[in-house]
A and B are shown apart, each in its own frame.
Chain A
Amino acid sequence: MNLPVTNKQGGPPGKSGKWGKHVIEEARGRAFVYFCVLLMVVTIFSIVFFIASRGLTPFISQGVSVKDMLFGLKWKPEGNPPLFGALPFLFGSFVTSVLAALIAAPLGFCASIFMTEIMPKFGRTALQPAIELLAGIPSVVYGFVGLSVVVPFLRDVFPGQGIGILAGAIVLSVMILPTVTTIGTDALRSLPSGLKEGSYALGATRWQTIYRLILPTALPSLLTGVVLGIARAFGEALAVQMVIGNAPHIPRSLFESATTLTSIITLEMGNTTSGSLHNNALWSLALILLLMTFLFVFVVRMLERRVKR
């Protein structure tokens, strides 16, 4: 970042020549905003650098192979020899977040259509504030409600303990519903109105217009919302950790205790000494989370490029 000394729009030259009051004031302001931006850039690079430097240690100098970590089934960091198979965590994270998206997406799409096509006024005054409120509720509160309502309900209705992938997915689906709905609603609102009017003029019913015209046109934006929802679900830690049971194996049913990347990190990070192999392996899991974030951002950008075209 260079700090310009002179400024073309700095106003008339002050009484003291080149270094007038305006120039100094402008330079100070610029210095401040450049500092803020620089700080942000430095922060993100140091996040990536520090987590990568710790997360890559097990692979580089402590003899764990990438393949064992990504596809291994057993997580026994204190065993002899220690095993670091993270597949159960990856599986748990993927299945819960995709399942949550499968529940939230239809609900969110319906809510978006309701707010834009069916009852715009009621949608704007009642449904939209309700969804914004859902977005504001803290994740630990979702976890608490999941633990005290969803889990007992699943325990009564289905076989098993109630905790497990389905409980996690239900809690997550409520959490990501606002993301899916808000982005979907914005997308539907920004469609050109001529599109709809043309369809109605041809005698199509409302549902035909929605199904054949509006949904296909807005699909990339709707999918953006879903991907952002999955990203949020993937990174969510405490709410899932509270209801999923945290057993480090791949479950055979939706009602069996499982675990995710984030919950194993929250549970074990505090109990390991910094620098040990076990601790570094947890940083590798954090690195996987980080890489997944990049992937999600990349997918969202691709979808947005399709919207613009």
Chain B
Amino acid sequence: MRAKTVDRIATAIIICVAGFIMLVLAALLGYLLVRGLKHISFDFLTSAPQAIKVGGGIGPQLFNSLFLLVLTMIITVPLGIGAGIYMSEYAKDNKLTAFIRLIVEVLSSFPSIVIGLFGLLVIVNTFGFGYSLLSGALALTVFNLPMMVRLTEQSLRNVPKEQKEAGLALGLSRWKTISSIMIPVALPSIVTGSILAAGRVFGEAAALLFTAGMSSPRLDFTNWNPLSPTSPLNPMRPAETLAVHIWKINSEGLAPDAPEIAAGASAVLVIMVLLFNLGARWFGRVVYRKLTASK
């Protein structure tokens, strides 16, 4: 066969594959939204789930997911930024640093179920936190920390060298240079990355099965005292998140409308992830425009 014919055929195949991938994504999103949106209503989003009757909602689960997200980010962000600063500014180029880098890589490739089991063994049992939101948040911190560290390191490395040198030349201490010159410059990309990391937290389930638990106690949404066991704000109560709920009703759901609830909950989850994704992109673009004065 002539080389040009082969070239055309190969190009056509590659374009078809690329089209096929787009099609898969479109079909996936379309299926989730078409099947799920029918079932989403204000009532569905706010009412409590039913064990064996029709008409259960996902209210507590949605709240748990959001609350867990906030708790996790409160713990993860400072730790991740701290370790990221070390990796980019304080770490010397030696064996120890190479070893820490290896550790970050290994930690980021641990399966989430292994992190969940570690949480069960250490946080839930040894520390005695029980199945609780706090245990879940700590497990997710372990899960998310490597990403946060890498992100901070990368953002700090992208800060122009002159800015750092100018700070040091003015006689600022290294820490002051980092905290008041470099971090503000790197902040936009850190925030964009954190939003994407938050999307990951929102959809994670395997690490939460044995840490935040698979049950949600009756919540009293008028009780805002964080110490009371029925208060939604109590971090020591077990909490089933939206992702865990989807898994649970698919594998052992007894409600007759379990497939519809799963579809609705999946649609909510995907919409939230899409919002995180678009939000991160939008934020990145706005800040980029502000900082560079380009269109």
Q: Which A residues are closer than 8 A to B by beta carbons?
A: 7, 9-12, 22-23, 25-26, 28-30, 32-37, 39-41, 43-44, 46-47, 50-51, 54, 106-107, 110-111, 113-115, 118-119, 123, 126-127, 130-134, 136-141, 143-145, 147-149, 174, 177, 204-208, 210-211, 228, 231, 234-238, 241-242, 262, 265-266, 269-270, 274, 283, 286, 289-290, 293-294, 296-297
B interface, size bucket: 35 or more
Min CB distance, B12 to chain A, in Å?
10
Known: A107-B20, A207-B10. A274 touches B125 (CB 8 A): yes
Known: A47-B110, A136-B199, A262-B111. A110 touches B22 (CB 8 A): no
In terms of DSSP, what is the predominant structure of the interface of chain A? helix
CB < 8 Å neighbour of A130 from B22, B149, B179: B22
Nearest-CB residue, chain A, relative to B141: A43
B142 & A43 in contact (Cβ 8 Å cutoff): yes
Which residues from chain A contact B106 at a C-beta distance below 8 Å?
44, 293-294, 297
Which residues from chain A contact B79 at a C-beta distance below 8 Å?
36, 39-40
Which residues from chain A contact B142 at a C-beta distance below 8 Å?
43, 47
Interface membership of chain B positions 78-92, coded 1 if the CB is closer than 8 angstroms to chain A and 0 otherwise: 111111011101100
Q: Is B210 an interface residue (CB 8 A)?
A: yes
CB < 8 Å neighbour of B22 from A40, A126, A147: A126
Distance A227 CA – B31 CA, assembled complex (angstroms): 30
B175 & A293 in contact (Cβ 8 Å cutoff): no
B210 & A270 in contact (Cβ 8 Å cutoff): yes
Known: A138-B269, A140-B246, A141-B269. A235 touches B110 (CB 8 A): yes
Which residues from chain A contact B86 at a C-beta distance below 8 Å?
33-34, 36-37
A51 & B111 in contact (Cβ 8 Å cutoff): no
Nearest-CB residue, chain B, relative to A233: B111
Q: Is B68 an interface residue (CB 8 A)?
A: no
Distance A107 CA – B28 CA, assembled complex (angstroms): 17
Nearest-CB residue, chain A, relative to B207: A237
Min CB distance, B225 to chain A, in Å?
31
B17 & A36 in contact (Cβ 8 Å cutoff): no
A133 & B277 in contact (Cβ 8 Å cutoff): yes
Partner-contacting stretch, out of B49-57, B116-124, B285-293: B116-124
A-B pairs, top 7 by smallest CB distance, nearest first, are: A235-B111, A138-B203, A29-B175, A36-B82, A110-B17, A205-B7, A33-B86
B250 & A139 in contact (Cβ 8 Å cutoff): no
Identify which of residues 69-119 in chain B touch chain A, using a CB-to-CB cut-off of 8 Å. 78-83, 85-87, 89-90, 100, 102-107, 109-115, 117-118
Min CB distance, A144 to chain B, in Å?
5
Min CB distance, A185 to chain B, in Å?
12
A36, A131, A236, A294: most-surrounded residue (chain B CB, <10 A): A36
Min CB distance, B273 to chain A, in Å?
5
Which residues from chain B contact A29 at a C-beta distance below 8 Å?
173-176, 178-179
B262 & A144 in contact (Cβ 8 Å cutoff): yes
A269 & B111 in contact (Cβ 8 Å cutoff): no
In terms of DSSP, what is the predominant structure of the interface of chain B? helix
Min CB distance, A191 to chain B, in Å?
17
B6 & A207 in contact (Cβ 8 Å cutoff): yes
Which residues from chain B contact A296 at a C-beta distance below 8 Å?
109
Distance A267 CA – B159 CA, assembled complex (angstroms): 47
Distance A25 CA – B175 CA, assembled complex (angstroms): 7
Known: A9-B168, A126-B22, A205-B6. A293 touches B15 (CB 8 A): no
Min CB distance, A120 to chain B, in Å?
12
| Total CB contacts across the A-B interface at under 8 A | 261
Which residues from chain A contact B82 at a C-beta distance below 8 Å?
32-33, 35-37
A40 & B145 in contact (Cβ 8 Å cutoff): yes
Nearest-CB residue, chain A, relative to B87: A37
CB < 8 Å neighbour of A26 from B17, B175, B262: B175
CB < 8 Å neighbour of A137 from B111, B196, B204, B270: B270
Q: Is B209 an interface residue (CB 8 A)?
A: yes
Which residues from chain A contact B35 at a C-beta distance below 8 Å?
148
A33, A134, A231: most-surrounded residue (chain B CB, <10 A): A33
A50 & B118 in contact (Cβ 8 Å cutoff): yes
Known: A118-B11, A148-B259, A237-B206. A136 touches B18 (CB 8 A): no
CB < 8 Å neighbour of A143 from B21, B103, B209, B250: B250
B266 & A141 in contact (Cβ 8 Å cutoff): yes
Which residues from chain B contact A293 at a C-beta distance below 8 Å?
106, 109-111, 114
Min CB distance, B95 to chain A, in Å?
14
Distance A145 CA – B112 CA, assembled complex (angstroms): 21
B145 & A208 in contact (Cβ 8 Å cutoff): no
CB < 8 Å neighbour of B204 from A51, A138, A204, A241: A138
Known: A25-B173, A237-B206. A136 touches B14 (CB 8 A): no
Q: Is B247 an interface residue (CB 8 A)?
A: yes
Distance A136 CA – B200 CA, assembled complex (angstroms): 7
List 14 A–B pairs whose Cβ atoms lie within 8 Å, in order of A's numbering: A44-B107, A111-B21, A118-B14, A118-B18, A123-B18, A138-B270, A141-B266, A148-B263, A205-B3, A207-B6, A235-B111, A237-B112, A266-B206, A286-B113
Q: Is B25 an interface residue (CB 8 A)?
A: yes
Interface membership of chain B positions 152-180, coded 1 if the CB is closer than 8 angstroms to chain A and 0 otherwise: 00000000000000001001111110110
B24, B81, B86, B179: most-surrounded residue (chain A CB, <10 A): B86
Known: A114-B17, A238-B206. A207 touches B7 (CB 8 A): yes
Nearest-CB residue, chain B, relative to A246: B251
